[in-house]
Structure 1
Amino acid sequence: MERIEMSDKELKRLEVLRQVLDGVVSQKAAAERLGLTDRQVRRLLRRYEAQGAAGLVDRRRGKPSGRRLAPSFKERVMARLSQCYADFGPTLAAEHLAAEGLSVSKETLRGWMIEAGLWQAARGRRVTLHPPRPRRARLGELVQIDGSPHDWLEGRGKRCTLIAFIDDATSRVMHAHFAPVESTQAYLSALQDYVTRHGRPVALYSDRHGIFTKHDPEDEAPTQFQRALDTLGIAGIQARTPQAKGRVERLFQTLQDRLVKAMRLTGISDLLSANAFLEPYLVEHNARFAQSPAEPNDAHLPYEGKAEELARCCATHHRRKLSKDLVLSFRRQRYIVRTQGAPRYGLRGANVTVVVYGDGRIELLHGQEVLAFTVFDATQDVPQPLDDKTLNARVDELVEKRTPKKLWRPGPDHPWRQYPEPPPSEGGKEAAP
């Protein structure tokens, strides 16, 4: 007797139809249990009475699907995939292939890639060790910030860091830019751009690096970034674990896959081109991954100051004291305050703020007054203290500048080589002088 392979769905139909024929269940009740109409149940009964259990087996089983893709199309897709997208995931590869007119579902492509050895199927479901924190309700209530040092240009250019600000309520990337290193000035520049575009958020959520907070409890002086936040009325909150600011961490995981490959296809190889490419890319990224907030009201407050005041706030500030001759020293240079001929005795011994902008420009401030000055000494290369985020960039710079020192050796016609070599003594040792 031929063995019939039946699915669970077909076995359930067989059991219910037998109960109908035995008079235990009515056709209407059977239709409700099977999720079918009365007419479909009567049709299945006729097939069962005529063919037995084999009549309930799906007639399409073992036959090729009518919606199958042509083998020639599969060959074109796989050839293009191997040529340009061999290390892409199925979802990302399907998006790029669709843009080229080769539309195929990501699951179909996943099967083809597994068959070709270009993708490995995931084993089991991932275990979530850290329960997700509920999102904030409004845009601008909490913005997570962080930097990701990575080989974003894949060796086509120098290693750099991506500074990103992402909103907690919407997962919308509010700001991102590439910087040579993850430094205080990189975050201050990002803060200036953010406030200019969106206004002042309620709070920024960061890690506990020295850029954002002092680790010495007895040091009450704020960091440069804390000073800027206090001036703008923005709260700074530090997370205790990377998982606490999981949205920005997952953002970097996504961008290290998608953004890196997008820049590879475009051939970007320098920081300037990468930042120019990033802005339109983030528009598409937010359109795909951002979501609507629970409440439509925006929590940002507008910045009502002038642009130059915001730029001054987002520069680095250093305190110095003027001498009796109205001179101060900063980075091994002397700055002489010009008084335009009028005596300024009140400035003697006064505290002055040296404001250093991101482009290297310097201002001297006494309160709100900008002081004119003359630089007495030439610019000097002053080594700055490094932290763990800037150390690697500094060592890479030193490696590039380092050239191997060639040892000098006299030529064969040099006078030193005109003297004969001393004869070896007995036992292979040289004779004593």
Structure 2
Amino acid sequence: MTRKNRVLLAVTGGIAAFKAAALTSKLVQANFDVKVMMTNSAQEFVTPLTFQALSRDHVYTNTFIEPDPTHIAHIDIADWADLVLVAPASANTIGKLAHGIADDMVTTTMLATTAEVMIAPAMNVHMYSHPAVTRNMEQLKKDGFIFVEPNEGYLACGYTGKGRMAEPEDLLAMVEHYFIKRDYPNWHGKKLIVTAGPTQEVIDPVRFLSNRSSGKMGFAIAQEAAARGAHVTLISGPVELDTPHGVNRIDVTSAEDMYKAVMHHADNQDVIIKAAAVSDYKPKTSEEEKMKKSDKDIPLEMVRTKDILKDLGQQKKKQILVGFAAESSNIEEYAKRKLETKNADIIAANSIVEEGHGFRGDTNALTLFTRKGDQIDVPLTSKKQAAKVLLDEVEKLFGDAT
């Protein structure tokens, strides 16, 4: 297990300190490890106990209070942090940081840390535009500090203008984006198509042919790719799943619908992952009115649908192409054959008859067959974890795509 990313939140004096409490909660819920330090002025607005309850950790308020004699607190938390976020950042604290003044817990720690520092100013509109404050912010930008611009709107002082601290949701997004770029630099900006779910082939207005695919594997891949910084287009058949955060979703119904959607977006993609269980056959004709029950058997003539993976393999240029093979027997044989006949780079194969594998459930076990001849076994695990392993293997091909 890798450790959580660590965020040190510095809260300075301002009415926006109440937003910092909400931000702390959101950071913890997003699985960050959070520590909070406060200036004396910040404690006039919100108590340290509030942040202690939300962060589930000690709150640092005084440079001279050393609860652990084996550590110097401001040095210890300065070294601990992966990212320091000053929110709200008052004009006073910005001025101190610009001039290297260290006269409280926050400013002393800021001089000691080597982590990136993100600053979210919050102040009166005239203070924000004052030449001295402008100079200080420009100096900090030159020093490498990252600024999150304040919003325009109604301020606590009664003025309307720029100076309202960015909303907690926006600050959380900035923090997440920072770690995505740091942890997954190769994925940032990559364009990715993921297909998911079943298709439905209409027989008449109330009947259709489909399969047991839930879409969970494809959605897990889309979610993980977006979390790594990719621009993800998720093309999904009919499923009852929420759209992952940051993913552009296109809903389709039939195999023909999915074919058209994939081909429309395929040319400018870096990676295409075909996780959908597309119907191989469809009724040759579909009835416009409901078919009535009779005493006779009714023949249903079927025709082949378009092979999306095969057509992608034939026309691909620079894309990395990943297909899935859900099989009931001879899994390795069929997967390797599919790898060749579809011109894929990876085939993710799984059993549809073993318990806990494949359709409907939240777990899966995969065997990844690569064009280079590698075979990677992914033992039974969550579909989320299986998606991580699959994307790790895709990343290894980034420099090889032709």
TM-score (ref. length: structure 1) = 0.19
Structure with higher Rg: it is: 1
Name whichever structure is richer in strand by fraction: 2
> Greater helix percent: which structure?
1
